[in-house]
Structure 1
C-alpha cells in the first residue's frame, strides 16, 4: 500500500461521470483503445467519439493513449470535459496535469469503469459484468477480474465497478459519497492498496456505512508495516468508519456473499443442522473457535422439533440427520428460524442420492419465507458446484465449506455490532481535559535544547501530570543515604532504579530493585546497582537514583501511542509490566469516554482489570479517563511521535503511572494528519442575549440525551416546520446521527443555556456535494426560547465556519407557510426561490464565494 498527497481540485460531477451521454475514446488507434471500443459498443446507447473535435462537450474521456501522449490529451480536454477522464497508463505527474487543465481524473493505472445498468463497460477485465446492486471499488485489475469472475456463477451483479488506480485525483472518498446516495447500490466492496486522503476516505466510508454494508480487502497492509499494532490501527480506523476489514480474498468474497444475500443476524447464537454428522461437527468447531456460541434450544423448541424427529434433539449440539429425506432439512431449518433463541441457521448438505434436488428446492423455498438468516453449505464439486449455483441464483447465501459459512455468520455479527453502535445513545458524561500547556512546552524545549529525542523520566512524568494523569509517588536521590531518606518519606515498600537521560530508551540489566521493605535495604540496593553498573562500564557519570512507592494490589497495564502509515496516530491498550503476551487492542484518537470504554472491552474488559488473587476489578472509569487524556495529549502536541506508559498501575482507587517514555519526532518533521477530525473546541464561544447567558459550541455525542429533551420541548408546528412532517419522536439512531457529527464534512452548533446546561437551539450545515463546495443548512430553536436572538447568533456562527471551510453556497429548504423563518433567513442575506414542481417549498441560498 502507498500514500500520496491530497489537494482539492475542481467540482466533481458524479452523475455525469457514471451516466455519460457522450464518451470520448482517445487513442482508439492503439490496441488498448480498440479493445475499449469493442467493450463499449454492444450495450452503450449514448454517443461515442474518437476525436475531440467531434463533440462540443465530453462527459467521459477514456484515455487509452500511451503514457508519453497523455499530457497533451489532458491539456486538450481543458474546458471541454463535464465529467472526468480515466487514464489507463502509468503516468507521472497526472495530478498536476489535471490541475493545470482544470479537469477531474481517475488514475493513473485505472482498470476502468463499468455501470452495467447504464450499459457502460469501459473495463480492462475482458469479462462481461452482470447488472446488480453490488459496487466494487479497487486498484488491482487482477483482483477485480477475480471478483467479477466469482460473481457471475454466484448470481451476484454490480451497480458500479470503478478502478481507482493510482489515486491521483478522484479516489475512494469521492466515489463512496456518490454510492451512498445511489438507490441502486447495496453492499460496497473495497480493495484498497493505497489511500491519498485517509480522513476524506474514512469520512465518506462512515457516511456510506450508515446506509450500506461495506467490506474491505487491503492487500499489502501488513507488508507495509509488519507490526501487529500497525495493522490493528488500520483495522480500528475502518471499524470506526463502519467498514468490515477482511484479511484474505476468500474471506472478502464470503463477506460479500453473506451481506448481499443473508438477512441480519438476530443474536449471536448459531443453530447447525445437516445430513452429515462429521460436517456438522466441523461447523460447530469452527463456530466455537471463532467465539460464536451454538444456539441453546429451549424446551419448547426441542419439543416441537421432536415431533418431526421422533425424539427431542440436544439443547446445545448440532442436529445431524444422515438419512434426512427430501425437504426435511428445510422444514427443520424453518422451525429453528422461528425460535427466538436462534440468531441464524446453518444448513449443511452433503451429496446423498435421489432426494438431493428436492432438498435444494426446499432450502430455496425456506430462505424466501423465514426471517432469520439462512446460510447453506453444499459440499462437493461434481454435483455440489451446480447445486450451489442453483441456490445462489435464487438469492441464497451458499458456501462450499462449513468454515466459510461460519465466517459468513461472523460477518453478519460484525455488521450487526456496527449498526448497534450507531443506534446506541452514548453516556452524557464528558471528560474535559484542561492541561498545563506551559509544563509540556518547557519539557519539549528542554529536550530540544539538549539534542535529545526522548524526554527524561522526570519530564515525562511532568507531561503526564500536566494532563491530569497521576504518577506513582517518587523522589530523586544522589547517594544511597539520600535513597534511604527518600524511601522513608515515600513509605514502604519502594522501588529503586537508576535515572539518567541516556537510560530513557533502554534500561540496563540490573538497574532496578523491587519490593524493598525498609530504609537499609533501599540504601543497600542503591549501592549494589551503582557498583554493578560501574563494573560493567554502564554507569553514566551523573546518574541519579529514582525512588518510587511500590503499588502491590494493582493491575499493571500498558498504554502505547504509535503511528500507522495510512491513518496516523494510534492508541494501544494491553497488559503491562512484562506480564502480557497478547497483542494490544488499538483505536484512533480522538477518544471520548464511550470509545475508551469500548477499547477497554476489546483489550479484555474484566479479565484485563481483574486484580490478582481476587474478584475485585480496577477502577475502569479511571483507566478510561486516562485513555481520553492521552488521546487529547497527542491531539494537542504533534511533536510527540510515540508514547509508552508501562506499567500503568490500575487499582480500585485509581491509576498511577510508574514509567513513561515520550519520544519526540525530529525537528521539522510533520506528523501525519489525524484520520478522524477531533472535536473543534476552539469554536466554542460564550454569548449574552437579553440578559441570558449561553455557550455556542459544536455538538458532540455526549449531547444526545440533551438533544432528545430539546425535541420533547418543541411544539408540533415547530416540528413540522423542521422535519416537513408530523414527527412524534426521534429514534435513538436518529438522535445518534444528529449528535455524532463528522467535523470534516459537517457542523452542528448548539446553544447551551449556561444556567441549566440544556440545549436551547441548534444550527446545522451538511456538505451536500462530494467536493464540499455546497452545504445544506437547518436551524431550530426551542419554542420557549424564541425571540431571544439565538437563531440569528447560531446562523451567523455557522456561516462564519462555512466561510473558513471554503463552502461556496449554503442552501436550505423551507416550507412556504413558515413565514417567520422566511423573513429571518432573508434578513441574513439569503435569496429565496420557489422549488420547481413544489409550490409548498422555498429554496433559500446564500452565496459565500
Structure 2
C-alpha cells in the first residue's frame, strides 16, 4: 500500500529548491518576470540564471512567470529537467495533474514566490526583500506575507526562508516543514494557512518540526467560513496535537513571532509587572487576569530585598509602579524580580519620560543578558519610542508597542512551555483495550443501508454503543400508547417517553419528549398528548413509534459530538449536555485516535472539574469512566469510516459510571468517502505472537503507554549494547527522549517491540524513521537485550520492519553502524544489506538495503 501524500512524482530535492545553483526564469518579458529578474539580481544570486532553451543539463529551480494559458506547455517542456521544483505564480487549473504528467515538482498555483536570504535567493512578489535571519514564514496570502516582511525589518526580525505555498498542488506545508525541521539556520516558524490539501502530511510534518522549534499559525477567515466556530476549534485541536500555537489575530501572530524569537523560556506561570506608568501597569494586569495569567505574588524575602533598593516595601501582589524612578532603576528591579523563584517572567513597561529614556533602555539591554527569566518590554509611544524598541530588538529583547501585546507574548511563552512539558510527560502505563462486537455494528449499519437511510434509529444507535462497551439507558420501543403503559411498568418508574422515527433521528421536535412520568397511566397519557401535539403541527411521521426509558437518578449531563470539519476531517467534541443541539460552543475538541491521556486532556479543557464535581443531589462523576467512554467513541470512529456524525446528548455521568440516554448517528451518503483521519491510527494489524525456543513473545507496534517499560529496558542493557546503539556511553534516557521514542507518528515511522509474555517486559525494539522529505528513504535501528539474544528475535523484528517499509513505499533502508560492531554487521549482511564506508568517518559504516 502506497502512503498517501508521499510519492506523487519524482523524488523531491529540497536543497536544490532552497539553495539552488541554477535558476530558470520563464516569462522574463512579462511584468512579473521582469520584477523577479530584478529581485534575483538585486539580491546577488550567485548561481546561473537561464531562459527556456538555455537549460541543457537541467536546473535546480524554475520560476514560471508566464500567464496561466502558457503554463501547461512550459511545465511539459521541463519534464525531467528540474531537480528542485517549479514555482508557479499564476492561477492554473489542474496544475497537479499537469505536473504529474511531466514529473515536475511544483509550488503553487498562485504562489507569491520563494526566498532564502542566506542563499541570496529572492524570487518573491514583494515590494522589498526579506532581511536575513532565523524566522521562516510560510503562507498563502501575498498581501499578508508582504505585511509581515514589512513589519519585520524595523522590528529587527529576519528570515531564513519565505515560501508562498499557494494552492497546495504538490509541494505544500508538509514537505516544506520537513525541510525546515532539519535546517540549522531556521528558528521559529510562522504559518498563515488558508487551506490544506493533505492534513495528515501537514500534521505529521508539523509535529516533527515542533519538537525542535516553535511554530505559530494563523488561519484567516475561519470564523467567517463557519460562524459556529467548530471548524476553528477542530483545527486548533489538530494544531495542539502537533505542538503548534494557533493565534487568532495578526497582532497576536506578530507578538508571538517577537516573543518566541527573542525571549527566554518561561520559568513559571506567574508574571511580574513593573513600569514607570501606574495606568499602563494596571492595563497590563487587567489583560493578564482576563487571559487567566496569574500575577506574581512576591515572597517576604523578595519584598525585603526590593525594599532595600526602593526605600519602601513593594506590594506583595499586583504591578509595581515607579513613576519617578531614575533611568536604570527599572532594570535593577527587573533583575531582582527575575531572580525570584516565584516569578516566571518579567514585563517592564516604559512610557516616554524625557532625558532618562536612553538610560532606561540601556539598562534593560544590559539586564537582559544576565537574568534567567524572560524579559519583555512594552515601550509606549511612537515618535521617540519606535527607535527605542528597535534598539531593544537589535539587542535581542522582546519589545512591544503596548502592554496588551506584551502580555499576549508572555501567554505565548506559557503555551509553548506547556507543549514542551507535555513532550516530557510520561503517560500512564494503563491501556484501555477496546474489544468491540464488530458483528453487531455491521448488522446495524447494514440494516440502515439496506433500508436506504443514512440516519439510524435509536435502537440501532444504542446497539452500536453497547457493541463498544458503552452502557445505554434501558429502553423499550413500542407502537401505541397502550404499549407505552406496559413498557413503562416493566422498566420501573419514573420513566421518559419520546417519539421515535428515522426521520426524527437528527432533530427533536418541540414537545416530543415527556420526563419524570410516575406511573403507567401518566406514561400512556404522555404518549397520547405527544401524538396529538405533533399531528396538529404535521410533525408526526407515518410509522412513528414510542421510545420508553427508565429515567435515571439525577446525574451530570454531558455531551460527546463527532463530526467532520474542514481542514482536519473527523473531530471529537466533549462538554456539558442538555442544551441546544445546534450549539457546540461549550465543547472542547480533539482528534481521533484518543488514548486515556489524551481523553483526560480533553476533559480538562472542557472544564472537567466543574463538569464532574458533586452538586446538590448529584454525586461526583466517575472521571475514569468518562475518559474511557471518549476512548471507546474514538475507536468507533476509527473503525467505521461510514459514520459521518455521532451525537450523544445526554450522557449521564454519576459516581457509578456513565449511561448514554440519547444518541444520533448519521452515515455518509452512498458513494461518499470520509476524509482520511489526519492522525494515523495505531497499526494494530501488525501485532502477532510467536514462540521461539520455548519462549513466547508478542511483536507489536510501540505505543505511548510503553514508556515505563522502555525505561526499564534501557536500565537492563549491557554497556556495550548501549554504545553500539547510541554511539556513546549514555547513562540514562531523559523523559523527553523516552516520550520521543514511544510516542511515534505511525504515518512516518514505526517502532516494533518484542514483549516477553512471561514477564510482560519489553526485550527488543526495531525502528524505522523516514529520513528524507519524500519518505522514500528510512533510517533503521535495532536493539535486543542480552537475555533475549540467540533465539532469532532480531530476525523476526527486522523481517517485520522490512515488510512494513516495503508496503509503505520506502525505497531504501539505511543505517549507521559502528565499525567494530561485528555481530550487527554480520546480522545485517545476512539480511541482504550492503556495507559502505562513510568518507571521513573511520569508526562508522553505512548499511543500505534497496527494497524495490
Higher deviation after alignment, 827-836 or 654-663? 827-836
* Structure-2 residue corresponding to 1:28: 28
| Partner Cα distance (2:340, 2:237) in 1 | 34
Q: Is the 8 A contact 1:8 1:771 kept in 2?
A: no
Deviations 1:502-523 (A, max 9, x none): 3222233222221123333333
Give the deviation of 1:677 after TM superposition.
0.5
Give the deviation of 1:615 after TM superposition.
8.5
* Structure-1 residue corresponding to 2:244: 243
* Structure-2 residue corresponding to 1:367: 368
* Structure-1 residue corresponding to 2:463: 462
Instruction: Write the mapping of 1:463-478 to structure 2, written as runs, cut at 5 A.
Output: 463-478=464-479
| Partner Cα distance (2:737, 2:694) in 1 | 33
Equivalent in 652, 655, 661 of residue 655 of structure 2? 652
| Partner Cα distance (1:777, 1:612) in 2 | 54
| Partner Cα distance (1:539, 1:220) in 2 | 40
Cα 1:528–1:807, aligned 2, differ >3 Å: closer, same or farther?
same
Cα 1:503–1:101, aligned 2, differ >3 Å: closer, same or farther?
closer
1:677 aligned onto 2:707: no
Give the deviation of 1:450 after TM superposition.
2.0
* Structure-2 residue corresponding to 1:220: 221
Give the deviation of 1:6 after TM superposition.
8.6
Equivalent in 745, 748, 751 of residue 745 of structure 1? 748
Q: Is the 8 A contact 1:173 1:202 kept in 2?
A: yes
Give the deviation of 1:536 after TM superposition.
4.5
Give the deviation of 1:296 after TM superposition.
0.8
Cα 1:540–1:118, aligned 2, differ >3 Å: closer, same or farther?
closer
Cα 1:69–1:525, aligned 2, differ >3 Å: closer, same or farther?
closer
* Structure-2 residue corresponding to 1:693: 696
Q: Give SS of 2:690's match.
A: strand
Instruction: Write the mapping of 1:302-701 to structure 2, written as runs, cut at 5 A.
Output: 302-578=303-579, 583-613=586-616, 616-701=619-704
| Partner Cα distance (1:540, 1:6) in 2 | 50
Give the deviation of 1:531 after TM superposition.
3.8
1:276 aligned onto 2:277: yes
* Structure-2 residue corresponding to 1:50: 51
* Structure-2 residue corresponding to 1:767: 770
Give the deviation of 1:627 after TM superposition.
0.6
Q: Give SS of 1:642's match.
A: strand
| Partner Cα distance (1:797, 1:581) in 2 | 44
* Structure-2 residue corresponding to 1:96: 97
* Structure-1 residue corresponding to 2:9: 9
1:725 aligned onto 2:728: yes
| Partner Cα distance (1:599, 1:106) in 2 | 36
Higher deviation after alignment, 611-620 or 581-590? 611-620
* Structure-2 residue corresponding to 1:787: 790
| Partner Cα distance (2:281, 2:53) in 1 | 62
Q: Is the 8 A contact 2:273 2:284 kept in 1?
A: yes
| Partner Cα distance (1:174, 1:581) in 2 | 34
Deviations 1:356-397 (A, max 9, x none): 110011011111111101110011111111211111111110
| Partner Cα distance (1:794, 1:6) in 2 | 25
Higher deviation after alignment, 119-128 or 584-593? 119-128
1:176 aligned onto 2:177: yes
Give the deviation of 1:553 after TM superposition.
2.8
**Number of equivalences:** 846
| Partner Cα distance (2:215, 2:354) in 1 | 39
- What's the TM-score once normalised by structure 1's chain length? 0.97
Give the deviation of 1:617 after TM superposition.
2.1
Give the deviation of 1:80 after TM superposition.
2.0
| Partner Cα distance (2:158, 2:528) in 1 | 76
Give the deviation of 1:481 after TM superposition.
4.4
Cα 1:527–1:814, aligned 2, differ >3 Å: closer, same or farther?
same
Deviations 1:628-686 (A, max 9, x none): 11111111111111010000000000000000000011001010111111111111111
Cα 1:54–1:236, aligned 2, differ >3 Å: closer, same or farther?
closer
* Structure-2 residue corresponding to 1:109: 110
| Partner Cα distance (2:472, 2:70) in 1 | 64
Deviations 1:115-152 (A, max 9, x none): 11111111110202211100111111111110111011
Higher deviation after alignment, 255-264 or 227-236? 227-236
Q: Is the 8 A contact 1:685 1:697 kept in 2?
A: yes
Q: Pairwise CA RMSD of aligned residues?
A: 1.6
Higher deviation after alignment, 74-83 or 304-313? 74-83
| Partner Cα distance (1:581, 1:206) in 2 | 27
Q: Give SS of 1:475's match.
A: strand
Cα 1:89–1:6, aligned 2, differ >3 Å: closer, same or farther?
farther
| Partner Cα distance (1:499, 1:17) in 2 | 61
1:802 aligned onto 2:805: yes
Cα 1:536–1:253, aligned 2, differ >3 Å: closer, same or farther?
closer
Q: Is the 8 A contact 2:228 2:584 kept in 1?
A: no
* Structure-2 residue corresponding to 1:831: 834
Q: Is the 8 A contact 2:684 2:701 kept in 1?
A: yes
Q: Is the 8 A contact 1:155 1:389 kept in 2?
A: yes
Deviations 1:478-522 (A, max 9, x none): 444443333333232221222222322223322222112333333
Deviations 1:62-94 (A, max 9, x none): 112222222222122222222211111222222
| Partner Cα distance (1:506, 1:57) in 2 | 61
Cα 1:733–1:6, aligned 2, differ >3 Å: closer, same or farther?
closer
Cα 1:190–1:537, aligned 2, differ >3 Å: closer, same or farther?
closer
Q: Is the 8 A contact 1:425 1:732 kept in 2?
A: yes
1:125 aligned onto 2:134: no
Q: Is the 8 A contact 2:555 2:619 kept in 1?
A: no
Give the deviation of 1:229 after TM superposition.
1.6
| Partner Cα distance (2:532, 2:428) in 1 | 55
Q: Is the 8 A contact 1:6 1:196 kept in 2?
A: no
Give the deviation of 1:725 after TM superposition.
0.3
Q: Is the 8 A contact 1:553 1:611 kept in 2?
A: no
Give the deviation of 1:266 after TM superposition.
1.1
Give the deviation of 1:44 after TM superposition.
1.5
| Partner Cα distance (1:311, 1:582) in 2 | 48
| Partner Cα distance (1:581, 1:504) in 2 | 18
* Structure-2 residue corresponding to 1:735: 738
Higher deviation after alignment, 603-612 or 251-260? 603-612
- What's the TM-score once normalised by structure 2's chain length? 0.97
Q: Is the 8 A contact 2:554 2:617 kept in 1?
A: no
* Structure-1 residue corresponding to 2:39: 39
Higher deviation after alignment, 55-64 or 170-179? 55-64
| Partner Cα distance (1:325, 1:375) in 2 | 20
Q: Is the 8 A contact 2:619 2:654 kept in 1?
A: no
Point out where structure 1 has 5 or more consecutive residues left out of the alignment.
none
Higher deviation after alignment, 474-483 or 131-140? 474-483
Instruction: Write the mapping of 1:806-825 to structure 2, written as runs, cut at 5 A.
Output: 806-825=809-828
Give the deviation of 1:221 after TM superposition.
2.2
Q: Is the 8 A contact 2:281 2:321 kept in 1?
A: yes
| Partner Cα distance (1:355, 1:615) in 2 | 62
Q: Give SS of 2:124's match.
A: coil
| Partner Cα distance (2:167, 2:503) in 1 | 44
Q: Give SS of 2:369's match.
A: helix
* Structure-2 residue corresponding to 1:300: 301
| Partner Cα distance (1:539, 1:166) in 2 | 48
| Partner Cα distance (1:456, 1:54) in 2 | 65
| Partner Cα distance (1:404, 1:338) in 2 | 24
Cα 1:5–1:418, aligned 2, differ >3 Å: closer, same or farther?
closer
Q: Is the 8 A contact 2:58 2:81 kept in 1?
A: yes
Give the deviation of 1:258 after TM superposition.
0.5
Cα 1:840–1:517, aligned 2, differ >3 Å: closer, same or farther?
same
| Partner Cα distance (1:782, 1:50) in 2 | 59
Higher deviation after alignment, 32-41 or 143-152? 32-41
Q: Give SS of 2:54's match.
A: helix
Higher deviation after alignment, 95-104 or 454-463? 95-104
Higher deviation after alignment, 574-583 or 83-92? 574-583
| Partner Cα distance (2:213, 2:537) in 1 | 63
Q: Give SS of 2:367's match.
A: helix
